[in-house]
Structure 1
Amino acid sequence: MAKATKKQALGRGLSALLKDPENDINSAKDKNADKVVGSIVELDIDAIEVNPFQPRTSFNESALQELATSIKELGVIQPITVRKIDFNKFQLVSGERRFRASKLVGLNTIPAYIRIANDQESLEMALVENIQRQDLDPIEIALSYQRLIDEISLTQEQLSDRIGKNRSTIANYLRLLKLDPIIQTGMRDGFLSMGHGRALINIDDLELQLEVYEKVLADSLSVRDTEKLVKSVQSSGSLSSEKTKNTPKVPKEIKESVKDFSSYFGAKVDVKVSKKGNGKVIIPFSSQEDFERLTKLIHSEK
């Protein structure tokens, strides 16, 4: 307990040092920089702004509330990381969930590691740290990879070395960004897994891609079933032919009778037959009056 109190007091002391205009630290060479950079400092929450480079764009509200409850009871166990951007002004590099949860419970200060970094270094630190998290969805990871490639000017090989992932893994994530935005949203919301996404990306036609996506959701298809469906659609060129292939053929005798039904009712009667041989007859009507007309025809046969 004594050690924790001493550490907290030290953090408050460093915080006071940062608020002293005569000790404004802007680089690792400045006076007292060695005391602050890399140390845990109690910072005013109001002196911290969120990181515009944060790859995560959505936060689960219930999980955030649970974290807020934990922080209220136990405090912030793992410090956030910030970079100094101006006198007594800081920007989050990592730990936005802890920062948001701390604000929810009304904390005035939060423990933080201080870094001195330019925008590019801050972006790289934020992206690389977030990529290592276990709770990012596949699209968030893919967007982080793409930003590192575009904004830090890394090749896939350099990115592979930087984050310790195989180049093929990186390529598979990046391919997900070619999916229709609606499907990407479905993945972010947890309706599809990365395996589903990797199967759907093989369909170049975005309209057809969406049709297959809707069928995957409607039928709760597994990844393996989705892969089979995609191969079938690729060979046929459409989803409608896949539906026709799986729909049992109506026997010739029934087709002939349907013509008689249509003629009698004055409407195009449809028949659906299951694989077991049973089925149903569908008689359409266009209005209330038309329905009454059909009803009279049926009653007249009694």
Structure 2
Amino acid sequence: MTDDTSKRRLGRGLAALIGEMDQPTGSDQTPKTSADDSVPIEFVQRNPRNPRRTFDEAELDELSRSISQHGIVQPVVVRTMPEGRYEIIAGERRWRAAQRAGLVQIPVLIRDVDDRTALELAIVENVQRSDLNPIDEAEGYRQLISEHGYTQNDLGDIIGKSRSHVANTLRLLKLPHKVREMLGRGDLSAGHARAIASTSSPERLAEQIVRKGLSVREAERMAQRDGEAVVEPRPKQPPKDADTIALEKMLGDHLGLNVSISHKESGGFLRVDYKTLDQLDDLCRVLQSAHRPQ
């Protein structure tokens, strides 16, 4: 499978990819993957590179009760590992809930894929189901970019999101650790986090958002006010002596423009203000004529 083909398939979603992988391929028409199967649950292990890191305990208990009554409706997608074991590609939540329900066997779809494709599938499945919190989603994107050479445009094509969504999600990883934890727990939304990401004190603002129960729009206004509050006023210039004021007036009269001089012991600068391009042209002519040979 070429990179381009893989990305097109992933762009159509996990279900489409699974359907295609069940079809015969190659000259001998031998499928690359097995049909639905059932394996001992103790032989199945989580993927340590799975972008999803957090699982809601109440949701796991609810799913466990459902599995106890109806079994696992959708198989867990796995790949083969050494010593007869299987690593989860998609469906870790179902696997965890099945363990709580006391299942001995679980239905699986076995896929022969490499590390990169396994990570792609995990991200696609979780993003399409909205199962990833924003930080887990950002970590998954970061892995694909840093370890597999993906661009933000590539990721947008794969997950069916815009490039700006990918870029804004990756920005969340620059937030302080405490704010990322609040995002992971669901105390903050991605919209809240984006609103305060560029401020000087995102941790303080995040605490205010949670404490006051602010909407994203309210958080944006608060972040804007905070940014205005931290703008430092320009330092006051010391009063100019009479000689400097006189020199400014003389030059200003000669040039027909406003002139400002700032002088210190170590040097200074001279500033000439103009309002139109014609005034700038006149100033250039004056300066050129001053150096013209007589």
TM-score (norm 2): 0.65
CA distance in 2, matches of 1:32, 1:49: 31
Indicate conservation of the 8 Å contact 1:196/1:226, yes or no: yes
1:108-123 to structure 2, matched below 5 A, reads 108-123=104-119
Q: 1:229 aligns with which of 222, 234, 244?
A: 222
Structure 2 counterpart of 1:213, from 206, 213, 220 = 206
Partner SS state of residue 112, structure 1: strand
Quote the residue 1:160 is aligned against: 156
Matched, 1:144 2:144: no
Query: C-alpha separation between the residues in 2 aligned to 1:63 and 1:32?
Result: 42
Counterpart Cα distance in 2 of 1:136 and 1:103: 21
Paired residues, number: 206
* Distance (Å, rounded) in 2 between the aligned partners of 1:32 and 1:155: 34
CA shift in 2, pair 1:161/1:107, >3 Å = same
Which stretch shows the higher mean deviation, 49-58 or 137-146? 137-146
Does 2:101 correspond to 1:105?
yes
Task: Pick one of 179, 182, 186 that aligns with 1:183.
Answer: 179
- What does residue range 254-269 of structure 1 map to in structure 2 within 5 Å? none
Write the deviation string for residues 27-83 of structure 1: whole angstroms up to 9, x where unpaired.
Answer: x99x9973x824100111121111111111111111111111111111111000110
- Alpha-carbon distance in structure 1 between the residues aligned to 2:148 and 2:50: 15
CA distance in 2, matches of 1:156, 1:50: 27
Distance 2:131 2:123 in 1: 14
Secondary structure of 1:186's match?
helix
The answer as to whether partners of 2:191 and 2:216 remain within 8 angstroms in 1 is: yes
Shift of 1:97: 1.0
For the residue of structure 1 that corresponds to 2:191, the secondary structure is: helix
Distance across 1 between alignment mates of 2:172 and 2:75: 33
**Alignment partners' CA distance in 1, 2:71 and 2:162:** 38
After TM superposition, the score normalised by the length of structure 1 is: 0.63
> Following the alignment from structure 1 to structure 2, what is the Cα–Cα distance between the partners of residues 198 and 113?
38
CA distance in 2, matches of 1:40, 1:231: 54
Percent pairwise identity: 37
| SS of corresponding position for 1:66 | helix
The question of whether the paired residues in 2 share the 8 Å contact of 1:176 and 1:197 is answered with: yes
Q: Could you list the runs of 5+ residues in structure 2 that have no partner in the other structure? A: 1-24, 232-294
Give the whole-Å Cα distance in 1 for the aligned partners of 2:109 and 2:65: 23
Alignment-derived partner of residue 245 in structure 1: none
CA contact (8 A) 1:200 1:209 kept: yes
SS in 2 for 1:103: helix
Q: Mean Cα displacement is larger for which, 132-141 or 54-63? A: 132-141
**2:74 alignment counterpart:** 78
